[in-house]
Amino acid sequence: MSRQNIYENLSVSSVMPEALMMDMVDFLTKNTPYLLDDGKKKEAFKTRFVGNSYINDIVNRLNVLGKENLFTLLRLPTKTASLREAVDMTFLPIDLLQYEDRYPKLEKSLKLFPNLRNKMVINITDLTKNTGEFSDTSLFQYRLVRDLLSRSFYTSSGSAWLSPALVRYTAKVYSMTIAAGLARFFGLSPLVQNFIQTLFCAFYITKMTSADIAPAFLKAQGKFMGLAESNDITQILSFTKDVLGYQTPLSLEDIFKVIDHYDHDQLKTNGISRLNRPILSLRFASLYPESHFAVIALEYPPYFLFLMMLVLSNVRIGLAFPMKQMNLLKEGHEVMDALLKTPTLFNNLTF
C-alpha cells in the first residue's frame, strides 16, 4: 500500500479514533442480519440512476465491471440506537480493508465474516424508504464514488495516482483555491500569494506522487499550474528544505512552519505567518455543505477530487465559485473525460 490510509488523516482520526473503530467492527459483526444479501445488493446496484454526470458515469462503469462485490450495504431499523455516532458519520467511508490495515488486530474479528472483510460498507438507512426502495439515489451514488476514490488512492501502486494530468489539475485547483482565498483574507501581494500557492501545490503533489517525485514534477509542470518560473520554484523548494530538512511539505503543519519562517514583511504585517489548522479549516469549510468533508479534503486528495467531480457535474457547492471564477472548468472536463476513457480508476481496487 503506497499511499495514505484515510484513517491516518488527522481530521479523521480526531473523530474516528481506534476505540470507535473497534466498536464499529463489533457492531457490524453483531448485526449482520442488517447487511443486504447478494440478491438485494444487486437489485440496489441495478437501480436506474438518472442523470448525466461524472458521478453517474463512474457508477455505471462500476456496474458494468461487476465491482459491486467491493461493497456491502447496511440498512438498519430506524429504532436501532446502538453506536449511532459511528454509523451516522456518513461523511466517512467504512472501508474495512483500511480499518484492518490501520489496526491489524481487527483481523481476528473480521476473518470469519467474508461479507465484511476487505469490503466498503455503505450505510443506506437514511437513503431508503420503509419498503427498502431508495428515496435518494444521488446520495447513494455520491457515497459509492467517494468510497471508490478513497480505496483507489489507498491501493494505488503507480508513481502518480490515476494519471499525471489528474495530479496536475487537482493540485492546481486545490492550491489556487486556497491561495486566492488567503490572499483576499489577508490582503497578500501577488508575490506572497504565489509563494503560498507553491507550498500548497507541492504538498498535494507529494500526496499524489511521492516525496522523491514531487519536486521534479512541480518544476516541470509549474507553469501549467499557474505558478512562478522554474527558478522561483527551485528557490522555494530550497527554502523549504532549509526549514524542514526536505523539499516539499508533508503535512499542513509543515506548510505553516515554512510560512512562519518566510522572511517577508508582508507576512508579518498581515498576520498570515500565524496561519494554522483552525484558521485554514474555517476558510475551507464553506466549499461543501458537509463541513467535516471539506476539512478532510484539505489534506486528502480523494475527497478534493470528489468535490471537483461534483462541480464538473454541475452540482452547486461552494467550490464551484472559485473554479468558475479562475476559469478551471474547461481543463477539468478534459481531464475527467480522458480519465473515464481508461480503466485506471478500477485497476488497483482490492476485493
First to last CA, the chain: 14
Listed range (41-45, 102-106, 160-164, 241-245) with the worst mean pLDDT = 41-45
> Any idea which of 49-58, 133-142, 172-181 has the lowest mean pLDDT?
49-58
Instruction: Return the pLDDT at 48.
Output: 63
Instruction: For residues 104 and 51, give the distance between their C-alpha atoms in angstroms, rounded to a whole number.
Output: 40
- Whether this model's pTM surpasses 0.85: yes
Residue 187 DSSP SS3 = coil
Give the residue carrying C-alpha cell 436501532: 80
C-alpha 31/C-alpha 127 separation (Å) is: 19
At 1 the pLDDT is 41
Altogether, the residues listed in the chain come to a count of 351
One-letter amino acid of 20: L
* Burial group, residue 348, by CB count within 10 angstroms (0-12, 13-18, 19+): middle
> How far is the C-alpha of 283 from the C-alpha of 301, rounded, in Å?
18
CA distance 17 to 103: 11
- pLDDT over threshold 60, residue 84: no
Pair type for strands 120-123 and 94-95: antiparallel
- Reported as a single tens digit per residue, the pLDDT across 29-70 is 988 998 988 888 888 887 765 566 898 888 888 888 888 889
Q: What is the pLDDT of residues 285-339, one digit of tens each?
A: 888 888 888 899 999 999 999 999 999 999 989 999 999 999 999 999 999 999 9
